[in-house]
């Protein structure tokens, strides 16, 4: 199912959380809403779900080109997974997953046998078939997450909405679960939107990323494009580590250049570093396994972070206090945006 929202705004007590948002999601796509806390990403997800209502004067929320802005939450046929899962505490795993099927009006409700069959197949899908009689309090965080997902999928939603799906989990489980989510999505192909503040998660899992800041979508593109061609300094800064250089643009206006630490070439010989290489002194070396982080100080006392691969570092054979030459390989130049 395609989702399209046009011109959506939302304010709380005078504060504008969403400002004129437009977004179109293709059928079967997996889209991440990425942004820092307070950027409006969760509110946008809740407006799409129907948990929040957009402000008066906002445009429609279209599911397959049908306006659902005034359709109740329960009638939108969405599957919503809450950040803290909101599993029903007093029901076991099986009852949680079967809830949506049992809540259907009598005419549409499958028979009890069908409900059992369907629930069992979902339990198999989330690989928790042997824990169906457990209560949520007896499950680990990752297991709860999967139960919440299965519960949302049981009613065959047209779209799956996940609010910080891995936010409450520790690092290892997170990594495992997001791969699992990707595989699951490749199997069932339901249009999916998830909210996250973790750029790695968004880039790794999604088909397209909508980067949000202060109630606006700054960029909406596939992960590679977002990472390689950030539409704004904000996107650049939010997606990873960076060095900021002040200077002049070609049109001789004051501007700034942003460079990723791994996009800086470093050498002992000024000619080997590349064109317009500048000198610096190594002030710190941090070993991080495959990548080594080198801190340089230039003549005008600015700090520059450089990342090189471990083999390159071995070849360079650097120590603290060594003098080196560095050159920017892939700088993004922006004229400062004074609006933000």
- Provide the binding-site residues for other proteins, judged by CB under 8 A: 49-56, 58, 69-70, 72-80, 82, 84, 86-90, 99-100, 103-104, 137-141, 151-152, 154-155
Q: From the CB of 121, what's the least distance to other proteins, in Å?
A: 17
Q: Which is nearer to other proteins, 103 or 340 (CB)?
A: 103
Q: Which is nearer to other proteins, 88 or 112 (CB)?
A: 88
Helix-helix angle 93-102:112-125, to 10 degrees = 130
For 77, residues 6+ apart whose C-beta sits below 8 A from its C-beta are 155, 156, 157, 158, 159
Q: Which is nearer to other proteins, 65 or 72 (CB)?
A: 72
Q: From the CB of 176, what's the least distance to other proteins, in Å?
A: 18
Q: From the CB of 82, what's the least distance to other proteins, in Å?
A: 5
CB of 334 within 8 A of CB of 306?
A: no
- Per-residue tokens: 195: 């909210």
- Per-residue tokens: 101: 């099927």
Q: From the CB of 103, what's the least distance to other proteins, in Å?
A: 4
Q: From the CB of 336, what's the least distance to other proteins, in Å?
A: 37
Q: Which is nearer to other proteins, 156 or 186 (CB)?
A: 156
C-alpha 56/C-alpha 82 separation (Å) is 26
Q: What is the DSSP string of 129-167?
A: GGGTT--GGGS-HHHHHHHHHHHHHHT--SEEEEESTTT
Q: From the CB of 194, what's the least distance to other proteins, in Å?
A: 15
Task: Mark 117-127 as b/e (b = at least 16 C-beta within 10 Å).
Answer: ebbeebbebbe
C-alpha 282/C-alpha 321 separation (Å) is 5
- Per-residue tokens: 100: 């949506």
Look up residue 173 and give its DSSP letter.
H
Q: Which is nearer to other proteins, 147 or 277 (CB)?
A: 147
Q: Which is nearer to other proteins, 74 or 254 (CB)?
A: 74
What count of residues does the chain have?
340
């Amino acid at each position: 199912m395609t989702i399209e929202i046009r011109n959506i705004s939302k304010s709380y007590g005078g504060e504008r959380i969403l400002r004129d948002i437009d977004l179109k999601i293709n059928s079967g796509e997996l889209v991440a809403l990425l942004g820092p806390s307070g950027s409006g990403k969760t509110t946008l997800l809740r407006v799409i779900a129907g948990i929040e209502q957009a402000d008066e004067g906002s445009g429609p929320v279209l599911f397959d080109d049908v306006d659902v802005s005034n359709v109740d939450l329960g009638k939108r046929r969405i599957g919503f997974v809450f950040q803290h899962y909101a599993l029903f505490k007093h029901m076991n795993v099986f009852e949680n997953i079967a809830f949506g099927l049992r809540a259907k009006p009598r005419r549409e409700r499958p028979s009890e046998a069908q409900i059992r069959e369907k629930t069992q197949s979902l339990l198999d899908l989330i690989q928790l078939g042997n824990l169906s009689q457990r209560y949520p309090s007896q499950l680990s965080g990752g297991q709860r997450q999967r139960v919440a997902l299965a519960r949302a999928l049981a009613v065959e939603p047209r779209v799956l909405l996940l609010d910080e799906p891995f936010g409450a989990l520790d690092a290892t489980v997170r990594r495992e679960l997001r791969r699992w989510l990707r595989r699951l999505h490749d199997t069932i192909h339901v249009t999916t939107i998830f909210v996250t503040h973790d750029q790695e998660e968004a880039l790794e899992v999604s088909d397209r990323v909508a980067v949000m800041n202060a109630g606006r979508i700054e960029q909406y593109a596939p992960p590679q494009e977002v990472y390689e061609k950030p539409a704004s300094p904000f996107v650049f800064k939010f997606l990873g580590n960076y060095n900021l250089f002040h200077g002049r643009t070609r049109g001789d206006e004051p501007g700034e250049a942003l460079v990723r630490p791994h996009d800086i070439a470093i050498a002992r010989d000024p000619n080997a570093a590349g064109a317009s290489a500048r000198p610096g002194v190594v002030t710190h070396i941090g070993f991080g396994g495959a990548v080594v982080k080198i801190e340089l100080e230039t003549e005008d006392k600015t700090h520059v972070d450089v990342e090189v691969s471990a083999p390159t570092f071995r070849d360079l054979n650097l120590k603290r206090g060594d003098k080196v030459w560095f050159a920017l390989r892939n700088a993004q130049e922006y004229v400062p945006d004074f609006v933000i």
